[in-house]
Amino acid sequence: MTPRVIIARNVLSDLSHLVAEATPALSTVRGDLFLPDNLPFAAIRLNIPFTDYIAYLAALPPGERPQAFRIVPVKDLPFHIVINGAVRVENGGTAIGGKPATIL
């Protein structure tokens, strides 16, 4: 049985509004990262195909790779990935839930 992570509709709505209105907290060739002030989630709008993004994450060293349950794909929204956890961007690096992780 494959575990599923379900993100509430109100969270998806808030993230959609953020992506439409805000400036990304971090941008790379792979995509843009959006961080809400009031939610323990983040949104990624990809500039590359989803399968390429997953391959990129899989190629990262284990100490840099985010935990799989933190990466939640979504469809039919102005972004492609929800990060399940509070994301911080500091000194050019990112962390999820206080643990360093490369996201983009």
- For the chain, what are the domain ranges? 9-100
Q: What is the spatial distance between Cα 70 and Cα 77, in angstroms, rounded to a whole number?
A: 18
Q: What is the DSSP letter of 70?
A: G
3-state secondary structure 22-59: CCCCEECCCEEEECCCCCCEEEEEECCCHHHHHHHHHH
- Indicate whether 3 pLDDT > 60: no
Percent helix, strand, coil in the chain (nearest 5)?
25, 30, 45
Query: What pLDDT, in 10s, does the model give residues 19-73?
Result: 999 999 999 999 999 999 999 999 999 999 999 999 999 999 998 999 999 999 9
Q: What is the pTM of this model?
A: 0.92
Q: What is the reported pLDDT for 6?
A: 81
